[in-house]
Amino acid sequence: FQPALMKSNLAALVVAPTLSYRLTNWLSIGISLHLIQITLADNDGLNAGAEGGNKGLVLDYSDPNNPVPLPPPNDTLTYEELFSLASTNDAVASSYVDVDNASGYGWGGSIGILLQPLPFLSLGASYIYRGKQNPLKGKAYIDASKSLSSIESDPDVKAITGVLFSTLLPNQLKGGLTAEYNFRLTNIKLPDVLNLGLAIKIAQRLLLAADFRYIRWAKVFKKFRADLTSGTNQDINAIVGSNRVVSTTYMLWKDQYVIALGLEAVALRSKEGTELLLQIGYNYGNSPSPTKTLSVGGAQNIQHHLTFGVRLVKRNWMFALSYVHAFTEKIYVSNSLSLPEANNTSIQTNQDTLFLGFTWQF
């Protein structure tokens, strides 16, 4: 394989105006509207799933100004069939699509309830509704230069393609194999989430908390479809057979269960009520993604996490800092649906994350 840099940045910004009401001394409810923006910047392998792949016909490329008819007996040969003759196994892995800050908007909501039946006991539940999400739209750029180099590393195939490219392609590869497309990604949504939690004050300055979270990934992470349209490179269009590329990525995630336990201690408390609190916790979540759809360059789900945090609370504001360490996991991929070249490979993942938070009540 040729070395390559693969990176992906998927971000979700949620603005959530919230209304809460205390019904009694021990019961409160809340409701929230979620206004969502999802952005994607990605540099990754293109699933040659261009529905159609390289289906352009080698022998019947026709320019509207200079048509070239098929010679008898009209046997057809596609570029896909031609490229499959190459002995290299690197042709797909070295073709990349760059997505430039595609974005889409949506909405969702949540509802929650908080009970405090006893002074030392709190119980809570909430449900987050995934709502609706528009497709992500932006620009995409394909660079198939390395893929062509990989194919032509087979001298027998290069002897054929060199003649064909120089005679049948509109621009004879003079402009290279790069192109710009309009990009549209559909079927991407945030999942429904059910949260249950309890907190017990086991000492004057010590709180024990436990949470259970059920995330419905199976409803939203089945498959994503990327439509690349209005391709600007005539040579790529001739090879693909269209100025449009459709790539389908299968996720096939299952639902996820997350269990978390934590302790919070009041380290300092002033006479004015300002508090410094220290936190430690552990959580486990089953991996929702099957190994057959894992991406070699994508982030993997890690099951075990250890967390540390500190909070500074003063009257109507709070500052929070937390650190999450995900233990290293190694996953073996025997059969990959997303990238056959990744068959029989191992993926090792670790993760360290820092969170900052600020809350102001007014």
Other CB atoms within 10 A of residue 338 CB:
20
H or E segment and range at residue 276:
strand 275-285
Confidence of residue 216 (pLDDT cuts 50, 70, 90): very high
Instruction: Give the lowest-confidence range in 34-48, 83-97, 320-334, 338-352.
Output: 83-97
Q: Is the CB of residue 323 less than 8 Å from the CB of residue 354?
A: yes
How confident is the model at residue 247, as a pLDDT?
A: 80
Instruction: Give the lowest-confidence range in 42-56, 132-146, 147-161, 284-298.
Output: 42-56
DSSP 298-330: SPPPP-EEEEEEEEEEETTEEEEEEEEEEEEEE
Longest dimension (CA), the chain: 96
Average pLDDT value for the chain: 80
Q: Quote the pTM value.
A: 0.75
Indicate the length of the chain as a whole number.
362
Residue 2 or 356, more confident: 356
H or E segment and range at residue 166:
helix 155-168
